[in-house]
């Protein structure tokens, strides 16, 4: 705590209550932001996005970087002593999601240096055509508890990141297996390591809402409801269908699939 105070000039008293500590951190960040007024922007400033205790990840287009906060780099998202099909399914999926944001409808407006520089007209046209598939697919999903439909336009960028992120994490795990060998099954379960990867991905989407909160989430959030964030990408990914032997034309392996990346 003393080292943090000296390096960051942030006054933290471990004996204060949580609210006081949080207010001190907020005040520190505000003062830090004010000091940068009229100064040259440092795109690599790791403190610019969120608190380290925020359980989230971010893509920063202007620095072409992703930030995975410290709160995610621990159990239950990551644990070096457990099977890596769980780690890749949980923290790996989050990392993949943020990487794909570099190539969604907003990230594609920036180049590798973080400057505004869109793709070629041909690439943009192809991207939009593929994106329309997601708009229609998610837009046809209805939430049983409320009867509300998913907004396929508002959630488009996040849906693209979910679908592509799952694929990146899965391919990352297969590469890990190639280098380190197949992992053991979990005791008492008959699921294969690859099936356990998908199950681990799905656990990231466990959520429960009150009816009032559900309506607010659907109407304001740029993410689809967790159920659809898991199930729809699974429906689109051939890897999932193969690992669970889903027959062609079934609910989880429809003939018409959507894919951008």
- The question of whether 162 is a catalytic residue gets the answer yes
pLDDT at 49 over 70: no
- Quote the pLDDT of residue 131: 97
Asked if residue 110 and residue 234 are part of one domain, the reply reads yes
The answer to whether residue 3 is domain-embedded is yes
pLDDT single digits (tens) 51-83: 677 888 889 888 888 888 888 999 999 999 999
- Quote the pLDDT of residue 2: 47
Asked if residue 202 and residue 99 are part of one domain, the reply reads yes
- Cα 164 to Cα 220: distance, rounded to the nearest angstrom: 23
Instruction: Spell out the residues 6+ positions from residue 163 whose beta carbon is closer than 8 angstroms to its own.
Output: 100, 134, 232, 233, 236, 237, 258, 259, 260, 261
- Quote the pLDDT of residue 48: 58
Asked if residue 127 and residue 231 are part of one domain, the reply reads yes
Q: What is the mean pLDDT of residues 39-47?
A: 70
Say how many Å lie between the first and final Cα of the chain, rounded: 44
The answer to whether residue 54 is domain-embedded is no
Identify the active-site residue in 93, 162, 183, 243. 162
Asked if residue 132 and residue 5 are part of one domain, the reply reads no
The answer to whether residue 198 is domain-embedded is yes
Short-list 86, 104, 26, CA closest to 78:
86
Asked if residue 179 and residue 88 are part of one domain, the reply reads yes
Q: What is the mean pLDDT of residues 204-230?
A: 90
Q: What is the pTM of this model?
A: 0.84
Range of the domain at 34: 1-39
Percent of the chain scoring above 70 in pLDDT: 93
The answer to whether residue 178 is domain-embedded is yes
Identify the active-site residue in 67, 93, 98, 183. 98
Residue 238 CA to chain centroid, in angstroms? Answer: 20
The answer to whether residue 13 is domain-embedded is yes
pLDDT single digits (tens) 183-202: 999 999 999 999 999 999 99
Asked if residue 226 and residue 148 are part of one domain, the reply reads yes
List the beta strands (DSSP E) in 138-209.
none
The answer to whether residue 57 is domain-embedded is no
User: What is the number of structural domains in the chain?
Assistant: 2
């Amino acid at each position: 705590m003393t080292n943090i105070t000296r390096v960051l000039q942030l006054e933290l008293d471990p004996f204060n209550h949580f609210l006081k500590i949080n207010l001190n951190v907020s005040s520190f960040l505000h003062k830090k932001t004010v000091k940068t007024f009229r100064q040259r922007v440092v795109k690599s400033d790791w403190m610019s996005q969120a608190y380290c205790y925020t359980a989230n990840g971010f893509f920063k287009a202007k620095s072409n970087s992703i930030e995975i906060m410290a709160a995610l780099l621990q159990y239950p998202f990551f644990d070096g002593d457990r099977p890596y099909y769980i780690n890749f399914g949980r923290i790996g999926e989050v990392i993949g999601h943020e990487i794909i944001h570099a190539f969604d409808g907003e990230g594609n407006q920036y180049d590798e240096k973080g400057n505004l520089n869109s793709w070629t007209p041909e690439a943009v046209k192809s991207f939009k055509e593929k994106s329309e598939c997601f708009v229609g697919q998610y837009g046809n999903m209805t939430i049983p508890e409320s009867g509300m439909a998913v907004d396929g336009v508002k959630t488009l960028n996040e849906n693209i990141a979910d679908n592509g992120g799952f694929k990146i994490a899965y391919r990352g795990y297969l590469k890990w297996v190639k280098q380190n060998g197949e992992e053991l099954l979990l005791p008492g379960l008959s699921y294969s390591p690859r099936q356990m990867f998908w199950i681990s991905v799905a656990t990231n989407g466990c959520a429960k809402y009150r009816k009032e909160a559900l309506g607010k989430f659907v109407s304001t959030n740029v993410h689809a409801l967790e159920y659809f964030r898991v199930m729809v990408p699974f429906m689109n990914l051939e890897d999932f269908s193969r690992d669970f032997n889903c027959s062609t034309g079934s609910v989880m392996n429809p003939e018409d699939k959507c894919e951008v990346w």
